[in-house]
Every structure is written in structure tokens, then in C-alpha cells.
Structure 1
Amino acid sequence: MAFLKKYRTLNSIGLGTILSLFVIIGWHNSQTDLESSLSDNVSNTAHLIVEQFRNAISEDVNKLKNLKKRLEITEGAYFDFWSKDASLLINQDSTLKLIEWIDDSGIIKRVEPYNENKEAIGLDITKLEYRYPEWSKAREDSTFNLTHWLELVQGDHAFLIDAPVYIDGQFKGTITAGIDPSYHFQDILHTFSEYHVQIQDEKGDIFYTFGDSAKTNSLQNFGTVKKIDIGDASKSTWTVTITPNHLFRKDNSTESNTFPLILALVLCGLVSISFFFGLKSLDAEKSLIKTNKKLRSLIDSSPLAICVINTEGIVTDFWNSAAEKMFGWQAEKVIGEHLPLINDDELKDFKTLINESLQEGGVKNKQIKKTRKDGTEGLFMLNIGMISGGEEMLVLIEDITEIKNYQQKIKKSLNEKEFLLTEIHHRVKNNLAIIVGLIDLQKDRISDERVIPILNETQSRIYSISGVHELLYQADDFTEISLAEYIDKLLDKLQQTYQGTERPVLISKEINSFGVNINQAVPLGLLINELITNSFKHAFSDTQIPKITLSIDQKDGYINIHYQDNGKGMSPQVFENKNSLGLNLIRTLIKQLNAEYKLDTDCESGFGLHLEFPVSQKGAHSNI
């Protein structure tokens, strides 16, 4: 069986080939027998035709013999009636064209019918090379003689039969008849139109043809050749060739047997194909049985409760181990009954659910609360899918009781953590605000004016940090803040701190709205704080209309910042090497952000800085 399965195609082709060979051999034998039968039929018909030809010629010869005997018996006295009887024979037999008397010297003395053949009277045949040898042979042997197909002196063609006449042992001459057997042959063959007949004399001259010769070439193998021996002297032999023609093919065609052969070969092919698909179907059936076992094994081992119900809500198949364990009812108690977890009061609603499933193609993720066999309640996730053309439905039920309990615990824990984080950020912001307030109190007690700007800078830096925590405890997401909102509040605070009334600084900003996590928000806020502080303190001493431009956007995973003021500018050497708190902080924060930067220190256009750094995906708990 494994061999049949492995070589299914080859076996099917082999079977079809063997059957086809048997059919072809049987058909060939049938064709051979049929052709042999047809060949025998043609041969028998030819024999019959030739015998009729021979009999017809014999009749003519016998008539001539009768005239001869009358002359010999009457010792020549019959010559007085010869012409009359000869004329009567010619009138009675259309085969006889003429009858003539040739004397012993070879001169034609009499001929009937006279008028049509009078040119022959007095003709000396001893002077005719094509005629005299045969005539003299009949004279010498005293036998009948038949010439080949001759053209007569008086016109037309005929065979001449010489019958020598002896009186008292002396040769007196010959009764010679000119015959054209075509009339006899025509009468014989008029019912054999399915044959082409051709007759040749001993010299090969064709003197008679009958029937249509169309399409005889393809039937040459059925043709036959017969011989007719005529005359006692020369033993003249006619060759008769009989070949079937297209009419014979029409009535006895062997090609008509090709259709049964084709039909039989087609049947062999169908048997081969049926055998192939039979093996394939058997293999598919085994595969289906194997797949069905696997499916049942998979269903039985599934952690989901699985069963099949009909449109009435009756369990028709399955009810796996998970269903037994989940609800407590055994399969043999369930199959054939309504779903046990649906009580009588809920049956109407359940059928309504089934109808909705039929209309909508199923039910997905429907939470239901049901009672188990032991009386305990549970939460379950119900899924229903259509099978068998909508006549049956596959039901999958998942016990989500524990999952729901876990979800409630997790939600409670998450709410507690969110409250705790909000409180932490709030307290950090408040504590930083207390520090800023303490610094304000300290500034009131300081008399040295050089210290107050330093404390102001410290307050700005603290505020840039506290601003982040303020936004975080106000937000729903503790991992990132809105950068645009953060920078707006930071700039407002800095303007309040440093903005003088004599020459107010115009701050132009273009900040796209996007989120940034806390680990990048704090250093970024400090960096912008230091840049603006540096511009307020050192850039605008000689600038009539001071201006600061800040643009921030995000593209392709990178944050781009361009900062520009129109102050007196700063050389690259100062920016990169000067040992001041502000510049040290700026350089440190650029490294902390992992940023690429480019300086624009043209004194005419002021100080410019372009930054680009990747967006960090780390959470609030991570470190940059």
C-alpha cells in the first residue's frame, strides 16, 4: 500500500498503459480478422466474376464449334446455310462482331455481317505478320486459336477466334469470329459497382475497364489478380485485376472501427484517472482521519472549553476535558442536551443570542457570568463561530475569573502607585519652591549686590527642574511631558526674572508640540535656562533692540534646537574653553543629551547654537 501511495502517478499511468496495450492488441487482432475476412470476400467475389467471364467466352467458342461441326458433318454442304446461321448468331449475341470464312490459302472468302465488313473480303492474312503465325498454328495443330486484342482492317478492335475445319482429313479453312466480350462483362459486373475491374490480354494491353477507380490505392492490399485461359492452341491468358474502390470502403470500411478503439482508449484513460483519484481519495481519507484525530486531540488538550452546538443550542459534538473541568459536567451527560450552564430561565435569551450569531456570523469576546455544577459562580469569555454552513456552531469558552481578579488587584495597585508618584512629584515641586523661597529670604539679608545675580541664576536653575515635576504631577502620563508647554512656562519665568524695563528683550519662539521623557526634559530645560541667562547677562550691552530666537522640532527620531541672539557674539575658543559655571553647565548638558552642536559666532549676527540629538525611549526610572 505504501508503494501505491508513493508512486501513485506512475502506478496510474502504468495501469492505463497496460489496459491500453490490451485494447490495442485486441483491436489489432480484430482489424486483422476483419481485413482477412474482407480480403477473402474480395477473393471469392473475384473468383465468381472470373468464372462468369470464362463461361461467357466458352459460350461464344461453343457457338463457333457448332458451325464448325455442321460444315464438317455435311462435308461442306452446310455452306449453303452458313451465311444465314452466322448472321443469326451475330444478331442473337452482341459479343460477336463478325464471323468470317478463311480458306486454306489464307484468303477471307465470306464475312457476316457483310456490309460492315466487306473491306475484309479477299484479304490475304498470310501477308499480315501480326496475324498469320497464330492462324497457321491453329491450322497445323487443329486447335482453336485466340488472338490478342487487334485493330481490325475494317476498323474497331476485337479478339479473333480461329476454328480450323477439316473435311475428309483435309484442311479446308477456318471459321473465324471477331468477338468483343465487353457486353458480356458489362452484364456480369453491373451489380459489382464497388469494384474496379481491369482486364489485360497476354501482351499486357488493357481491353476492358469497369467501375470507379477512385481511392483504390489505399485498398490495394484487398485487391486480387485472376487468370483466364482461353483457346486450345495458343493458350492465351487474360489477366483480371479486381480492386475495391471507394464504394467498397464506404460499405466495408475498417476505419469505422477506429471509433471503438478511441472510445476504449478513452475509457482506459478514465480508468487510469479514476485509479489515480481513487488512490488520492484513499490517501486523503486516511489523512482526514489522521487530521481528525489530531484535531480531537488538540481540542481535548486545549485549556479552553470547546463544544459544538446546533441552532437549538443542543450540544452535538465535543465537550472536551477543559469543559468537564471548567464546569463539572461529564461529556456523556452533555452531548445531545442543551448547554448545561444555560438554565431554563436563560434558554430564551440564549436562543436570541444564537439567532444574532447566525445573522452576524458569530460572537466574539462576550463576557458572561455563569454558575458551575458545584454552585460556584465564575466569569467566562464566550466566542461562537459558524461551521457546517451555519447549521452548527463552534463554542469556545475561557474561564477569566482569576484573570479578572488579578486585573482588579493590578488596577488597585496601579492606582495606588499613580497616586504615590503624583504625590512625590508634587512634594518635590513644593520642596524646590521652598528652596527658592528660602533663597528669596536670603537675598533680603545680603548687602553685597554681586551675590544677588548669582542667587537669581540659582533660582532659575531650580525652577527649570521644578517645572518638570509640576507638569508631571498634573499629567496622566508620568513618563513624559509636553515640551512646548514646559518651555513656554520656563521662558515666562526667565523673562520675569531678567527682563528690564529700559530695553526689553524680545523672545521669538517656534516650538512644535511633542512629548519628551523626564530624563531629557530636565537637562534640556537647564540648557535653555543657561543659554537665555547668558544672553541676558552678557550679550545685549551694546544692542539697541535685543532679540532672542528659539525653535524646537522633532523629525525622524531626532530633536533639533536652534538658539540665536543678536548680541555681541562669542568666539568658539571662549565657548569651548572658558572656565565659567554657565559655560561649563552648557557643555556638560550638551554631552549629557548626547547632542551634536554647531556654533554661529558671527559678531554681526550675535551668538547662535544648533543642537541635534536622538529622542530617548527610556522611561522615567532610567538614567541618561
Structure 2
Amino acid sequence: MLKNTFFLNTNKIAKRFSITYILVGLTGIFFLDKIINLILENNTISTNSILTFNILFIISTGIIIYLTINHMQKVIRNVEKAYNDLKQKEKDRLAPYEFSLDHSVDAIHWFTLDGKFIYVNEATCKMSGYTKEEFEHMYLEDVDPNFTRETSPNCMQDIKNTPNWRLESTHRRKDGSSYPVEVSGHAFTYNDKEYICAFARDMTQRIKNRNKITTINKELENSLKEKEILLKEIHHRVKNNMEIISSLLNMQAYKSDDKKFKDAMKESRSKIHSMALVHEFLYLGENLAFINVNEYIERLLEDIKELYISQNTHIQIDLNLDVMEFSINRCIQVGMLLHELCVNALKYAFKENRENLLCVHMRLIEDKIHIKIRDNGEGLKDIKELEKSESIGMQLVHSIVDFQLHGTIEFKNNNGLECNIIFPKKEIK
């Protein structure tokens, strides 16, 4: 190994040859000189001695040439062996990379900056139908009809100047057929020359899957729209049916002279209307799962006020609500609560020819919803009477709070009657 290194030092090969030649030559001349001196000492110069000198000169020169050439041949063999070893090592080192390139699913192209192919892998040949030898004489426009000899260099410059360059294009096979590709590329420098490396992926299957997914999405979207229309129609019909029931109750009350019966029918109509109002909001709204509770409560209070308050009764409503959306179920429960408590205030707390105030506040505090309903009436002397009340309205209020909202309810006098309801935040968007 050290010997090969010694002789293969390219900076010293000429010097090694020269020194070797001089040493061999000087050695030969030294021995030749000794031989000639011996001859001259024992013989006089004659024709035979000159012939002998010439023969010795030729023999010594031949020996010097032989030794020099033999040394040069050894050096050349060592150089050739070292070159072959280096070439094999380089081939072994590049073998995994060549294997990876040739067995890549994506087509890999190397271009010069004018768009000429200088390398393609096996995937490129399989996709296009051309051989590697054919690609040696081809340009970008030969496989991509979107480019010409004039525009190909512009594309190479774009790849060179654009990080993460990508393009969707169409490539043409040798048989004339086309297939969609997604191309990415970047520039690199090799031996002080700039090249472009591009990766092309066949998008035929991806586009088929994309189109299939698009078709399925359109079908699902159409189906969803049909179901939304159907649900809206159902809510509309439910609302209309409730209005019919309310009208029937009104007709029954109109035929009766019993005031208690008429008041009962009026309250029943009002309860039905509060539930029908939910279906009306669902029918008119864009969301079939949740209702803007703020708009619902505003509309509910206006309808209750119109039904129960006479023209001589002046009432101011203090409405303070956090913006929330309730599910259908939760909205009906809260609507029924507000209906009962507000109707009680309108019926018993407010009087004509005075300033009446109804406060309805609803807040979202952490994970609880707080509802406060307060009037400015005279209040109650015995608050506990409300808990013992056997009226249908109060029984309904306690039933909704306890068993449906799983909350708590509290009544107290606060410049009028105040009711506070707290329940967990559920079924709220």
C-alpha cells in the first residue's frame, strides 16, 4: 500500500523516473568504465578493442533501457490497478444511489439549463416509453407539449430561482398518448456547471380518486340539502299544526261563557305558541340543530306582552342576554320557563296607570347558565307559598328545573319578585 502510494504520487512521478534513470545510468557507466580500464591496461587499442567497447556500450545501454522501461511498466501497472480499484470503489459507493434512482416510483430527470435531458431513471422510461439512449438526444418539449425550445430555458430559470418549485402539467408518451403529472424541481451544481433536477409523479390515479371524491361530495351535498329541506318542511308543518291546535282552543274559548275556562284556554294557547315559535325559528333559520336564543326570547316576550297586556298598561322590558345558541330541546325548556314566569308577572305584578318593569337577564358564567327574572310589583309576603303551590304553571316550572335542566331555582323579594335559576351548560353551541 505504501509502495503504491509512493509511485502514484502524481506530483513526483516525473522526478521518480528521472532519478531512477540517472541512478541506473550512472551505475552502468561506472561499471562500464571499470571494464574499459581493465581492457586498456591489458591491451593496446585495436580494432577488436573498439568493437568490444561498442558491444559493451550497446549491452550496457540496453540494460539501462530495460531497467528503466521495466520500472515504468511496474509503475503503469500500479497506476492502472489503483485506478481500477478506485473506479470499483466509486461504483460500489454509487450503486445504492443508482438503485434508488432507478427504482423510484417518481420519474427523475436531469436537465441542462437549455432543457436538454442528460439523465433519466427507469421510471421515466416506463412512463414515457422512450429508452435512456433516446433521451440522450431529447429536450423537455419532446415530452411536455406545454413547452417549446424557446420557453424551456425560461422554465429552467424559474426552477433555479424558485424554492420548492412545483407545477401540474401533461407529459406525452412515445405512442402519442398523454398523462397528467405533478412536477417538482430544484437546481444543483456539478463540476462548476449548473443543472436542473426534476421529479415527475403520474397523477392519473390521484385525479381519478379526486374526481370520485368530488362526485361523492356533490351527491352527499345534494342529499344533505334534500334532508335540510325535508326537516325544514317538517318543522313548518309542526308549527302549522300547533297553530291549528291553538285556533281550535280559541274557538272553544269563544263559545264558552266561563271566564276560568277562557283563561285556561288562553294560557294553553300561549304555551303552545312558545313551542311553535321554536319550530318557526328552525324553519326560517340556517341551522337545523341550534337556535339563537337571544332572538327567540325577544320574540317570545313580545308575543306574551301582546297577548296579556292591555293598552292601558305600560311596561318596560329590561332584556340583557349573553349571545348563545341552544339546541331545540334546551330552547323549548327555557322557553317554557320564561313563559310561565313572565306570564305570572304580567298577570299579577303589573297594574294599569303605572310604570311597570320586567327584567330578564341570562348570563353564561364559567360552566353555568344564570337566568334572573324580576318584576317591580309588590312581591310576596310568604315566598315559601310558591314552593307549595299546586298550580299547574309552578309545578311545570319546578319539574323543568329539577328533572330536565338539573338546576336550582330560588325566589326572593327584591323591590318586587325575583326568580333566579342556575343550571349546567349543556346542549349549547
Query: What TM-score do the two structures reach when normalised by structure 1?
Result: 0.43
What is the alpha-carbon distance in structure 2 between the residues aligned to residue 580 and residue 481 of structure 1?
A: 30
Alpha-carbon shift at residue 429 of structure 1 (Å):
2.0
- Given candidates 154, 158, 163, the residue that maps to 1:361 is 163
Structure 1 residues 525 and 354 mapped into 2: Cα distance closer, same or farther (>3 Å)? farther
In the TM superposition, 1:15-164 aligns within 5 A as: none
Specify the alignment match of 1:596 in structure 2: 407
Structure 1 residues 547 and 373 mapped into 2: Cα distance closer, same or farther (>3 Å)? farther
Contact 1:425 1:470 in 2 (8 A): yes
Alpha-carbon shift at residue 498 of structure 1 (Å):
0.8
What is the alpha-carbon distance in structure 2 between the residues aligned to residue 416 and residue 334 of structure 1?
A: 59
Specify the alignment match of 1:463 in structure 2: 273
Q: Deviations over 1:423-453 (max 9, x none)?
A: 2222222222222223233332222121122
In the TM superposition, 1:205-220 aligns within 5 A as: none
Contact 1:543 1:567 in 2 (8 A): no
Alpha-carbon shift at residue 497 of structure 1 (Å):
0.7
Specify the alignment match of 1:205 in structure 2: none
Q: What amino acid is aligned across from residue 613 of structure 1 in structure 2?
A: P
- Given candidates 477, 498, 501, the residue that maps to 2:287 is 477
What is the alpha-carbon distance in structure 1 between the residues aligned to residue 147 and residue 175 of structure 2?
A: 20
What is the alpha-carbon distance in structure 1 between the residues aligned to residue 162 and residue 292 of structure 2?
A: 44
Structure 1 residues 491 and 358 mapped into 2: Cα distance closer, same or farther (>3 Å)? farther
Q: Indicate the SS of the match to 1:559.
A: strand
Equivalenced residue count is 321
Specify the alignment match of 2:221 in structure 1: 411
- Given candidates 362, 385, 391, the residue that maps to 1:574 is 385
- Given candidates 197, 202, 207, the residue that maps to 1:392 is 197
Specify the alignment match of 2:262 in structure 1: 452
Q: Indicate the SS of the match to 1:560.
A: strand
What is the alpha-carbon distance in structure 2 between the residues aligned to residue 471 and residue 543 of structure 1?
A: 35
Specify the alignment match of 1:546 in structure 2: 356
What is the alpha-carbon distance in structure 2 between the residues aligned to residue 617 and residue 372 of structure 1?
A: 59
Alpha-carbon shift at residue 526 of structure 1 (Å):
1.5
Q: Deviations over 1:377-415 (max 9, x none)?
A: 99x795746575893344454331221221222222222
Specify the alignment match of 1:501 in structure 2: 311
Contact 2:159 2:187 in 1 (8 A): no
Structure 1 residues 616 and 372 mapped into 2: Cα distance closer, same or farther (>3 Å)? farther
Contact 1:567 1:607 in 2 (8 A): no
Contact 1:553 1:560 in 2 (8 A): yes
**How many percent identity over aligned positions?**
21
Alpha-carbon shift at residue 582 of structure 1 (Å):
0.9
- Larger mean CA deviation between 453-462 and 608-617 belongs to 608-617
Alpha-carbon shift at residue 602 of structure 1 (Å):
1.9
Q: Indicate the SS of the match to 2:256.
A: coil
In the alignment, is residue 512 of structure 1 matched against residue 314 of structure 2?
A: no
Alpha-carbon shift at residue 532 of structure 1 (Å):
0.7
Specify the alignment match of 1:248 in structure 2: none
Specify the alignment match of 2:211 in structure 1: 401
Contact 1:461 1:529 in 2 (8 A): yes
- Given candidates 298, 315, 327, the residue that maps to 1:488 is 298
Contact 2:289 2:328 in 1 (8 A): yes
Specify the alignment match of 2:230 in structure 1: 420
Alpha-carbon shift at residue 496 of structure 1 (Å):
0.7
Q: Indicate the SS of the match to 2:269.
A: helix
Query: What TM-score do the two structures reach when normalised by structure 2?
Result: 0.59
What is the alpha-carbon distance in structure 2 between the residues aligned to residue 386 and residue 569 of structure 1?
A: 82
The structure with the greater share of residues assigned to helix is 2
Q: Deviations over 1:452-507 (max 9, x none)?
A: 22222222222222222222222222221212111111111111111123333321
Specify the alignment match of 1:103 in structure 2: none
Contact 1:558 1:614 in 2 (8 A): yes
Alpha-carbon shift at residue 422 of structure 1 (Å):
2.1
Structure 1 residues 291 and 497 mapped into 2: Cα distance closer, same or farther (>3 Å)? farther
Contact 2:314 2:353 in 1 (8 A): no
What is the alpha-carbon distance in structure 1 between the residues aligned to residue 333 and residue 141 of structure 2?
A: 64
Specify the alignment match of 2:343 in structure 1: 533
Specify the alignment match of 1:585 in structure 2: 396
Specify the alignment match of 1:613 in structure 2: 424
Q: Deviations over 1:178-214 (max 9, x none)?
A: xxxxxxxxxxxxxxxxxxxxxxxxxxxxxxxxxxxxx
Structure 1 residues 373 and 551 mapped into 2: Cα distance closer, same or farther (>3 Å)? farther
Structure 1 residues 347 and 294 mapped into 2: Cα distance closer, same or farther (>3 Å)? closer
Contact 1:371 1:377 in 2 (8 A): yes
Gaps of 5+ in 1: 1-281, 301-305, 619-624
What is the alpha-carbon distance in structure 2 between the residues aligned to residue 443 and residue 405 of structure 1?
A: 57
What is the alpha-carbon distance in structure 2 between the residues aligned to residue 341 and residue 427 of structure 1?
A: 66
Alpha-carbon shift at residue 353 of structure 1 (Å):
7.6
Contact 2:107 2:200 in 1 (8 A): yes
Contact 2:325 2:428 in 1 (8 A): no
Q: Deviations over 1:279-335 (max 9, x none)?
A: xxx9xx99x9889989998x64xxxxx4445574969666869x97xxx76696899
In the TM superposition, 1:89-488 aligns within 5 A as: 300=105, 306-309=106-109, 312=115, 336=135, 344=145, 346-347=146-147, 361-362=163-164, 382=182, 384=184, 386=186, 391-396=196-201, 397=203, 398-399=206-207, 400-488=210-298
Q: Indicate the SS of the match to 2:359.
A: strand
Alpha-carbon shift at residue 580 of structure 1 (Å):
1.9
Q: What amino acid is aligned across from residue 577 of structure 1 in structure 2?
A: K
Alignment RMSD (CA, Å): 4.6
Q: Indicate the SS of the match to 1:524.
A: helix
Q: Deviations over 1:199-242 (max 9, x none)?
A: xxxxxxxxxxxxxxxxxxxxxxxxxxxxxxxxxxxxxxxxxxxx
Q: What amino acid is aligned across from residue 269 of structure 2 in structure 1?
A: Q
What is the alpha-carbon distance in structure 1 between the residues aligned to residue 346 and residue 277 of structure 2?
A: 21
What is the alpha-carbon distance in structure 2 between the residues aligned to residue 315 and residue 574 of structure 1?
A: 97
What is the alpha-carbon distance in structure 1 between the residues aligned to residue 379 and residue 257 of structure 2?
A: 32
What is the alpha-carbon distance in structure 1 between the residues aligned to residue 118 and residue 301 of structure 2?
A: 71
Structure 1 residues 538 and 404 mapped into 2: Cα distance closer, same or farther (>3 Å)? same
Contact 2:411 2:418 in 1 (8 A): yes
Q: Deviations over 1:71-117 (max 9, x none)?
A: xxxxxxxxxxxxxxxxxxxxxxxxxxxxxxxxxxxxxxxxxxxxxxx
What is the alpha-carbon distance in structure 2 between the residues aligned to residue 409 and residue 610 of structure 1?
A: 46
Contact 1:319 1:334 in 2 (8 A): no
Specify the alignment match of 2:373 in structure 1: 563
Contact 2:140 2:147 in 1 (8 A): no
Q: Deviations over 1:3-39 (max 9, x none)?
A: xxxxxxxxxxxxxxxxxxxxxxxxxxxxxxxxxxxxx
Instruction: Point out the structure with max Rg over C-alpha.
Output: 1
